[in-house]
Amino acid sequence: MNDDAAARLREQLTRSPGPLRLGGSEFAPQRPLVLAIVNRTPDSFYRPGVTWDAVAAMDMVHVAVADGADILDVGGVPAKPGPEVTVTEEIRRVVPFIERVRAAYPDLVISVDTWRHEPARAMCAAGANLINDTWSAWDPALPEVAAEFGAGLVCSHVGPQRPRTRPHRIAYADVVADILDRVLPLAERAVKAGVDADRIIIDPTHDFGKNTWQSLEITRRLAELTATGWPVLLSASRKDFVGETLGTGVEDRLAGTLATTAVGAWLGARVFRAHDVRETRQALDMVASIRGERPPVRALRGLA
């Protein structure tokens, strides 16, 4: 397909911005959402094992909800290379936890970070409302699972990268064009499979299949993705491109993450995947107030 044909196809696959419907909740286009990360793994890249214990994981859920999380994102397999996690083990790690969260928070939107249809089906049956497919339709059966349960679906971009691998000398003629040429057809395919268009999110997927230069370019060109009308997920929390840009370790990447979050919010991203919920919520609220979409909690200065 030549560049002109690709551009025409992208235009055909855009839509008018509308509400995002997940579970029984409806979120207006101007409302930014915080997707709080709770990993059910012993070996996550950030603070490994902190929510491996089931009680600690539920404590984290309570804190995230109190701090302003709109969605909870639960994963049972780390993205980084490591020991195999079987389908059975992924289900064992995540499904009972989803059941406990759903019992405690009947109306909370629960997302599951998985790329395989068997765990996704078990997790949706347990109460999950969104399938966060971070590996770009590696398993083509995921849209059917989302449609079966009336769940949402994240359509992501990882280039040629396979699940749980790292990019190696990755190159694109135009990284944003490549993202659009991947995620927009995935969204259209999900609609044809029966997923409600109002339940689909697209994700440029920083770091996955990208080097740091490419993740930075995605961030500054995010408006090209939000212009499609599909809700955009920004998943930048403490990622390597932040660390490499600032020369910091994973424990010292909050400031860079929040800067990326603010830029993304200004450019129209809708969902923000975060380890640090309270700080992310405050950054998003501040951007919304600067844009004139949210009044200050109080505004007494110069008035009394």
DSSP 30: T
Q: Coil, strand or helix: which one is 194? A: coil
What values do phi and psi take at 74, rounded to 5?
-115, 130
Closest CA to 186 of 2, 10, 8: 10
C-alpha to C-alpha distance for 109 and 122, rounded to whole angstroms:
16
**Annotated catalytic residue, options 121, 238, 273, 281:** 273
**Distance of alpha carbon 297 from its chain centroid, rounded?**
28
Neighbours of 37 (CB within 10 A): 24
Candidates 238, 239, 270, 281; catalytic one: 239
Looking up tokens 């909800």 gives 65
DSSP state of 74: E
- Quick check: is 47 catalytic? no
Catalytic status, residue 291: no
Q: Give, to the nearest 10 degrees, the angle between helix 142-149 and helix 175-192.
A: 50
105 in Cβ contact with 61 (< 8 Å): yes
For residues 133 and 154, what is the distance between their CA atoms, to the nearest angstrom? Answer: 6
CB contact at 8 A, 184 and 225: no
Q: What's the rounded Cα separation, in Å, for the pair 128 and 125?
A: 7
Best CA proximity match to 154, nearest among 171, 175, 138? 138
C-alpha to C-alpha distance for 92 and 41, rounded to whole angstroms: 11
Q: Which of 86, 97, 93 is nearest to 126 (CA)?
A: 97
Which residues does the annotation mark as catalytic?
239, 273
